[in-house]
Amino acid sequence: MSSTTRVPQEERTRAMRLRLMEATVELLVEKGFSGTTTTLVSERAGVSRGAQLHHFPTKNDLVVAAVAHLTEIRGSDLEAAVSRLPDGAGRTEAVVQMLGDHFASPVFTAALELWVAARTDAALLEAVAPLEQRVGRETHRLTVELLGADESRPGVRELMQATLDLVRGLGLANTLGDDARRRRKILKEWSRSLDAALKEKS
């Protein structure tokens, strides 16, 4: 039946699904959402069209699964970066720069493609919105924690949001040829203002 345990098949299934999702993410970054055709995905993944359709009946299924996969990558990426964060004086800037780097990664680019596509695709939006909301909240929580900010003080929450919206904006600019140096300098200056504002409010 289907309720009993199975092993090797599940393994194969997982591997195949993973390959398909990774190929999807790659293509999202390289060719954009509409350029990510199911045919290209199966070719890139080295999977027959039949197998692909077996695991992901429609393109939306595939893309949504890829998004979910993406959010996992995002999570572990961030965790890894967090562990390398220094304490003390330069803490704020280190945190902000880390966020900046994160939102300048291919992961963000792929997610951006999805957001923009989802804006005008109801079915996709339905799948992406809750996911992205969760990730957004989690990122916010993490930022507050890393900065040791006290959101019960008025204005602090808005500064956290501003920081995240800023890195989002920088991430967007980054997809269109902006360089890392510019980002660094902007975030450095931002960190100073943020530090000053937080200190004043504490």
Partner DNA sequence: AAACAAACAGTCAAGCCTGTCTGTAAATGG
Partner DNA sequence: CCATTTACAGACAGGCTTGACTGTTTGTTT
Using CB under 7 A, list all residues that contact DNA.
Answer: 1-2, 4-10, 12-13, 16, 36-40, 47-51, 53-55, 57-60
Chain center to CA of 92 = 21
**Residue number, 16 or 197, with CB nearest to its own copies:** 197
**Nearest to 201, CA basis, from 146, 161, 148, 154:** 154
Task: Reduce the DSSP state of residue 121 to 3 states and report it.
Answer: coil
The answer to the question of residue 107 lying near its own copies (CB under 8 A) is no
The answer to the question of residue 108 lying near its own copies (CB under 8 A) is no
Q: Which parts of 169-198 interact with its own copies (CB under 8 A)?
A: 169-173, 175-177, 182, 185-190, 192-194, 196-197
Q: CA of 190: how far to CAs of 102, 168, 173, 185, 186, in Å? A: 16, 14, 17, 9, 6
Partner whose binding site includes residue 90, from DNA, its own copies, none (CB under 5 to 8 Å by kind): none
CB 84 within 8 A of CB 94: no
**Residue number, 22 or 30, with CB nearest to its own copies:** 30
CB 25 within 8 A of CB 66: yes
Q: Which residues bind to its own copies, rule: CB under 8 A?
A: 30-35, 109, 112-113, 115-121, 129, 132, 155, 158-159, 161-162, 164-173, 175-177, 182, 185-190, 192-194, 196-197, 200
